Structure 1
Amino acid sequence: MKRIFITGGASGIGQATARLFHKNGWQVGITDVNEVALRATAAELDGCWYRPLDVTDDLACQHAARDFAAEGGLDVLFNCAGILQMGQFENISAARHKSIIDINVTGLMNMSLAAYPHLKESDKPVVINMSSASAMYGTPHFASYSASKFAVRALTEALDVEWGRQGIRVVDVMPPFVNTPMVNDADFRAPVIDRMGVNLDAEDIAATVWHTATHITPVHNPVSGKFKILVLGNKLLPGAATRRLMQFLSR
């Protein structure tokens, strides 16, 4: 039986992914800082392994990866844990900016390092990182979040080369806005969201994660036709054109 370890698995995209892989016969392990939601999700998925986890705690990440792998190995790591704060950059506290980087970047690195020795034991190991459309061009009102996803993109590209030599595929998933509590429950709603629309559900992203886990894919996996067109335009047009587009979308 194939085995997937999912951070941020108690809600949103992580939860939808856990449900999909469980439905398809995989052994699923989930972690989250929200213990109540974590236990509820685990109870829904018969036989699901779970543990409360703060991904910024590198030692806790090591213990969680070790204990999950001890029960049968670790084939796929889905680094899904992340947070978002929308608003004017100067209106968000330094502590909050730091938390975004700590969880979205350092947490992802902690978990990847923790999973690495166990992934090496799998015959077809994969690391799937949760990136974002915000990693294409710095997004106004998402400045530190966008910066964190640029870091995820760079890390994915580097590890795809480094770990690829050891047989570990490293890819990311890059959706635009998704209908999840992280977007819907925000105190500030960035104008770019209303201009582009929220046309994806968590299940749409889970389906892309499933595809990247079970098929050979490019390093970067943009989700939705609209965003794929923007990615193509970003490659073909001068950077100034993308900047002007972002200025328009964020007004």
Structure 2
Amino acid sequence: MDNILITGAASGIGAATARLFHERGWQVGLIDLNPEALATQAAALGGVWHRALDVTDLAAVEAALEDFCGRHAGQLRLLFNCAGVLRFGHFEEIGMAEHARILNINVLGLVQVTHAAFAYLKATRGAQVINMGSASGLYGTPHMASYSASKFAVRGFTEALELEWHRHGIRVGDLMPPFVRTPMVSSQCFEPPVLRRLGVNLDAEDIARAAWQQAQGAAVHRPVSWLFRLMYWSGQVSPAWMNRGIMKVLSGV
């Protein structure tokens, strides 16, 4: 039976993905920093495996992977790196501790979980890694500079590892949605102009369905929503000055 391990699984996109894959017969494992919300989510799915930890804690990550995959004959069909944090605001008004937290969780945490999962993925036929990317990884987005930088890193990491791990039979790809209606977005105190102009037209279930599509047929990058697919593919052929101009207008800077 296929199994999936999801980080950031207590709410939002991670929780929606866990529900969808569980409904479709997969063995689900949940990781999140919030123990209470995680336990509630695990109980709602019938008491599935879960572990509360910080993805930047390498020892805890390695122990969790060993425990979860040990229950599945040392195999891992799909790793979904969904844990992430976001902060909207003017770069200089956000403290360095918050910038560091964004980069540590969104980049270092993702890399550490992927590294710890390698042996289990390699042992599994058809293994995949899905990284949570973002539309802000396509062109640097004002008022979310550190988050945008972290998603550029995720995009580069995904592209490199997809090529490198081909020899092991492991597919690596990312999901690239624009703004998604989740607690991470709704809890923000600052509203970037780009959010007002583009709107929030996706919910967590939309991204969960994209993760399911990715599990059935991997792509290196999977833009989510018709609008961002149009922006993504036009951005591949448009000159850099045009992409910069579009972002300048959307962001009101």
Instruction: Give the TM-score taking structure 1 as reference length.
Output: 0.98
Partner of 1:143: 145
Q: Distance in 2 between matches of 1:197 and 1:235?
A: 23
One-letter code of the match for 1:66?
E
- Look up the SS of the partner of 1:137 in the other structure: coil
Partner of 2:78: 76
Q: CA deviation at 1:47?
A: 4.0
CA displacement 1:181-213 (0-9 Å, x = unmatched) = 111110111110010010001000000101111
Q: CA deviation at 1:153?
A: 0.3
- Look up the SS of the partner of 1:28 in the other structure: strand
Partner of 2:220: 219
Aligned residues: 250
Structure 1 stretches lacking a partner, 5+ long:
none
Q: Distance in 2 between matches of 1:149 and 1:106?
A: 12
Partner of 2:14: 14
- Look up the SS of the partner of 2:210 in the other structure: helix
**Is residue 2:19 matched to residue 1:23?**
no
- 2:109 corresponds, among 107, 110, 124, to 107
Q: Distance in 1 between matches of 2:141 and 2:108?
A: 21
Partner of 2:66: 66
- Look up the SS of the partner of 1:51 in the other structure: strand
Partner of 1:233: 234
Q: Distance in 1 between matches of 2:112 and 2:128?
A: 16
**Is residue 2:10 matched to residue 1:4?**
no
Partner of 2:244: 243
Partner of 1:165: 167
Q: Distance in 2 between matches of 1:46 and 1:114?
A: 27
Partner of 1:200: 202
Q: Distance in 2 between matches of 1:163 and 1:66?
A: 21
Q: Distance in 1 between matches of 2:78 and 2:53?
A: 18
Q: Distance in 2 between matches of 1:91 and 1:166?
A: 44
Q: CA deviation at 1:237?
A: 1.5
Q: CA deviation at 1:218?
A: 2.1
CA displacement 1:103-133 (0-9 Å, x = unmatched) = 0000000100111111111111000000000
CA displacement 1:14-50 (0-9 Å, x = unmatched) = 0000000000000000010011100000000014110
Partner of 2:188: 186
CA displacement 1:36-91 (0-9 Å, x = unmatched) = 10000000001411000100001111110110000013110000000000000000
Instruction: Give the TM-score taking structure 2 as reference length.
Output: 0.97
Q: Distance in 2 between matches of 1:164 and 1:64?
A: 25
Coordinate RMSD, CA, aligned: 0.7
Residue identity (%) = 54
- Look up the SS of the partner of 2:249 in the other structure: helix
CA displacement 1:130-182 (0-9 Å, x = unmatched) = 00000000000010000000000000001001111110000000000000011
One-letter code of the match for 2:157?
L
One-letter code of the match for 2:111?
M
Partner of 2:51: 51
One-letter code of the match for 2:5?
F
Partner of 2:36: 36
One-letter code of the match for 1:168?
I
Q: Distance in 1 between matches of 2:139 and 2:94?
A: 20
- Look up the SS of the partner of 1:235 in the other structure: helix
- Look up the SS of the partner of 1:78 in the other structure: strand
Map 1:117-128 → 2, pairs under 5 A: 117-128=119-130
Structure 2 stretches lacking a partner, 5+ long:
none
